[in-house]
Chain A
């Protein structure tokens, strides 16, 4: 390949400068080949020391530089809703105390306290606010705030069933035999749409607002706080172990909102008011059960959170009075978990509103901007070289190595010439890059390769310029554009000899006496593998690209708009494609940076300026 120097007189000084540049390269490269090879190994850390030292380039390979100005106008993305998964579990007092006394063998009417008044015979206190809340959350219809629902009725009968049943947990939606009612086919957490009919069909004691009276069990037995808490713990454990993620909730960290609704003291024995507390369940035992529930996350590898709240409902009608001891006990229980306490007797509409899943609409913020000339490479010996196909391997090296300088993947095996070079020291297995003799890279066979007559291609899941197969071979992350989380897209880092291993700090280390980090050299368009201060000692130096970032007016308060001006952008080649990498991240609560890119080709050889506009960015 030969390159004619421009004949125009105004280019003469630049030409002379490049001659100094070239001669200095010769001297310096002689001195530093060994160290730079060593350093390359160090920086890349790929365990490969087989990189082929380059032959010195003929003078004609280096063309005069041409500096242009590049501007980029862009705005950050609109606010992004945060997906959340909330699982509501309501523990509902289902003791006989709620209903009109019924003569049962184990609870004869004559054992009821003389001042007995049914607390909630029609279920309005317990079920009404719950139905209202479920409907309200359903009406929000917020696709990013996913909610799932479940409920357990508790009494001294339900808890033993839960404990003894090896197969399933008796919950609110089972009948007296432990079988599920028709409206509620199982005891999994349900969507609001499925949960509402369950709730309505099993509204104990109701005066038929929703259809026929449900089958037993109605309210029965005594109030068993610890049994309810144990059942809740079992149910959450089973939910976490079930591996039946509701569609769209994978990877979401669930928050369990457990709500304990009771109207009476914990009784396990009956009727003597003086022995209720002594024979009941003391706060210390209840506290332990709550703490067990709250500490469930420590037993699981998957992250989740449990919150615990309580509510009290007073007896209805004229006879019953609120029971201060119960209110105090429920307040104390909420205090254990720093949860809410709600007095349903005093509550207004939409009692459970504080439990509505909080909707976050996160503001995006600009994190970084990188400008790349797709057709130029700072090779690891400090030379700036042409790269016509933009694969990262300079034309100068492609031709002698048998690869095609105009084809990023000469042997068509889905792994680019440059990545193969970095892995194996040569762009192809075959000296002439014959397709039938290419490395097969069988390790990538599961990565959805697409094979055509032109060869194999792989998807690039994270859009960082390295496809999934290349990232696998380089041990980079397929789904994070910056594997070491330094915000430099992986291909850009690899091309500039910046390590892409997880948790590598190489981008921010200072290897040379020029005191520049590889990160800053990338920003300044300088070679990362070379001490630029040493170069400055001879007859040439490196031209730093500079930039000016400023805020410009934004269409709304939720987005920031910027103008970035890049000065001294080297485009010594034509055609030249320039690419801008824009990194954005949520301002708070999430560290999930997003990569946006834009590519533009210089319109003409003499173009002095290239402008990117907001619509250029994906």
Chain B
């Protein structure tokens, strides 16, 4: 292991000595942590491949304890494809949502909580266990809700290309919670959905800012907007990009105790062989440690600034205490990126078993790309 690459070397901040009394003193003291936030957020907003500093400490109040259990995930020995450069990486536990300052479980892993889907069943026909409750419509529940397409209108949706995925950015897998798992559960935006949303089906990130369109839709960003990911609507200095990446709600205070406790932390280690170990810490796990679906995206750019993506998913089972998980990078070749392998004790068939990692730290997880 090499040295840690820090996100940003803190610029010297000179806070003036406070000579005044009373109100002014309080104000200036309170300002110091604020300035750290300013510095960090400035870095975030500036970078085309944003750095990921930890959230600044709270100016006041007591942070909640870290979620328990949580996992940390390390993708070891990552190197970009030849001719490409690393842009960013994202990990998200699709089974867990942070809503109204609470962690809630999402059986369908589709960005909508079980409670919400059950409530909306009468209007949209949503089922808590499927991202596409109306399989004939080829439009996910998340999209149907945002577009306001209620049950009786769903049959008028027209999608000849089905689950075609020209950008190869979706996660397609067999859900072994079903009695007869079919390798067809689709988490992403299919070509029909992208066309309907006026996006380009061949692009990973329509506005080319590095944040995949599917993650944008899940986080509540309009993927057509060129500037929205850089904004900070809550005024906390954390950009939407940053909050989406760190699994925080965009439109709530990112400096609140809950946000501080549940934010993901990203860090990157450079190895002697110039490969990277990509790490994400503080990934909250729910559902008694069973059936937590971790989506992983690594974004690369070619010389023409075209973005591509290597994706994988990790099914976390039987994690009852906080655990560090680690596995080697799977996408050494383009074909492995496009249809990545199933890794580690899966019940579903493995398309490319030769890419199974030899090391066996994965006793309680299964990795599926």
A568 to B255, CA, bound (A): 17
Q: Which stretch (B80-88, B219-227, B276-284, B351-359) binds chain A? A: B219-227
Are A486 and B148 touching (Cβ within 8 A)?
no
Beyond A546-B235, A551-B252, A589-B198, 13 extra complex contacts between A and B, CB < 8 Å: A359-B149, A359-B153, A360-B149, A361-B147, A515-B43, A523-B235, A536-B35, A545-B235, A546-B34, A547-B253, A549-B233, A587-B222, A588-B147
Q: Which stretch (A52-60, A322-330, A365-373, A415-423) binds chain B? A: A365-373
A438 at the interface (CB under 8 A from B): no
Closest to B34 in A: A544
Are B234 and A547 touching (Cβ within 8 A)?
yes
A548 to B34, CA, bound (A): 14
| Cβ–Cβ < 8 Å partners of A543 in chain B | 27, 31
Are A356 and B156 touching (Cβ within 8 A)?
yes
A568 to B27, CA, bound (A): 9
Q: What 4 A-B pairs are tightest by C-beta distance, nearest first?
A: A361-B148, A515-B42, A547-B235, A338-B160
A79 to B123, CA, bound (A): 15
A560 to B157, CA, bound (A): 27
In the complex, 16 of the A-B residue pairs with CB atoms within 8 angstroms, ordered by the A residue number, are: A353-B155, A356-B156, A361-B147, A367-B225, A367-B231, A514-B42, A515-B39, A520-B45, A520-B237, A523-B232, A536-B16, A547-B236, A564-B235, A568-B27, A588-B224, A591-B222
B363 at the interface (CB under 8 A from A): no
Bitwise, A496-534 to B at CB < 8 A (1) or not (0) is 000000000000111001111101100110000000010
A362 at the interface (CB under 8 A from B): yes
Are A538 and B16 touching (Cβ within 8 A)?
yes
A539 at the interface (CB under 8 A from B): yes
B13 at the interface (CB under 8 A from A): yes
Chain B nearest CB, measured from A20 CB (Å): 8
Contact A589 to B196, CB < 8 A, known contacts A363-B145, A515-B46? yes
Are B225 and A16 touching (Cβ within 8 A)?
no
| Cβ–Cβ < 8 Å partners of B237 in chain A | 520, 523-524
A310 at the interface (CB under 8 A from B): no
A514 to B148, CA, bound (A): 44
Other-chain residue from A517, A536, A557 in contact with B45 (beta carbon distance below 8 A): A517
A184 at the interface (CB under 8 A from B): no
Other-chain residue from A354, A560, A590, A593 in contact with B158 (beta carbon distance below 8 A): A354
Chain B nearest CB, measured from A90 CB (Å): 17
A589 to B139, CA, bound (A): 14
| Cβ–Cβ < 8 Å partners of A544 in chain B | 31, 34, 38
Other-chain residue from B24, B145, B230, B252 in contact with A17 (beta carbon distance below 8 A): B24
Are A541 and B28 touching (Cβ within 8 A)?
yes
Other-chain residue from A10, A354, A519 in contact with B231 (beta carbon distance below 8 A): A519
Contact A487 to B227, CB < 8 A, known contacts A359-B153, A550-B253, A589-B196? yes
A16 to B226, CA, bound (A): 46
A540 at the interface (CB under 8 A from B): yes
Chain A nearest CB, measured from B260 CB (Å): 13
A10 to B24, CA, bound (A): 12
Closest to B159 in A: A338
Are A513 and B222 touching (Cβ within 8 A)?
no
Bitwise, B89-132 to A at CB < 8 A (1) or not (0) is 00000000000100000000000000000011000000000000
| Cβ–Cβ < 8 Å partners of A546 in chain B | 34, 235
A239 at the interface (CB under 8 A from B): no
Chain B nearest CB, measured from A507 CB (Å): 8
Are B148 and A358 touching (Cβ within 8 A)?
no
A339 at the interface (CB under 8 A from B): yes
A358 to B236, CA, bound (A): 39
A242 at the interface (CB under 8 A from B): no
Are B156 and A517 touching (Cβ within 8 A)?
no
B273 at the interface (CB under 8 A from A): no
Bitwise, A107-127 to B at CB < 8 A (1) or not (0) is 000000000000000000000
| Cβ–Cβ < 8 Å partners of B11 in chain A | 513, 515, 533
Bin chain A's interface residue count.
35 or more
B197 at the interface (CB under 8 A from A): yes
Number of B interface residues at 8 Å Cβ cutoff, please give it.
65
Contact A520 to B232, CB < 8 A, known contacts A356-B156, A361-B147? yes
A294 at the interface (CB under 8 A from B): no
Chain A nearest CB, measured from B146 CB (Å): 5
Closest to A537 in B: B14
A208 at the interface (CB under 8 A from B): no
Interface core residue of A515, A516, A557 (most chain B CB under 10 Å):
A515
Contact A550 to B45, CB < 8 A, known contacts A360-B148, A519-B230? no
Bitwise, B209-227 to A at CB < 8 A (1) or not (0) is 0000000010010111111
Residues of A88-135 contacting chain B, CB below 8 A:
none
A550 to B253, CA, bound (A): 6
Are A362 and B235 touching (Cβ within 8 A)?
no
Contact A533 to B148, CB < 8 A, known contacts A550-B252, A551-B100, A590-B224? no
Are B42 and A367 touching (Cβ within 8 A)?
no
Are B34 and A362 touching (Cβ within 8 A)?
no
Closest to A565 in B: B253
A407 at the interface (CB under 8 A from B): no
| Cβ–Cβ < 8 Å partners of A593 in chain B | 225
Contact A514 to B220, CB < 8 A, known contacts A538-B16, A591-B225? no
A533 to B231, CA, bound (A): 22
Are B235 and A549 touching (Cβ within 8 A)?
yes
Are B156 and A16 touching (Cβ within 8 A)?
no
Chain A nearest CB, measured from B192 CB (Å): 10
B272 at the interface (CB under 8 A from A): no
Residues of A196-240 contacting chain B, CB below 8 A:
none
Chain A nearest CB, measured from B40 CB (Å): 8
A347 at the interface (CB under 8 A from B): no
A593 to B42, CA, bound (A): 25
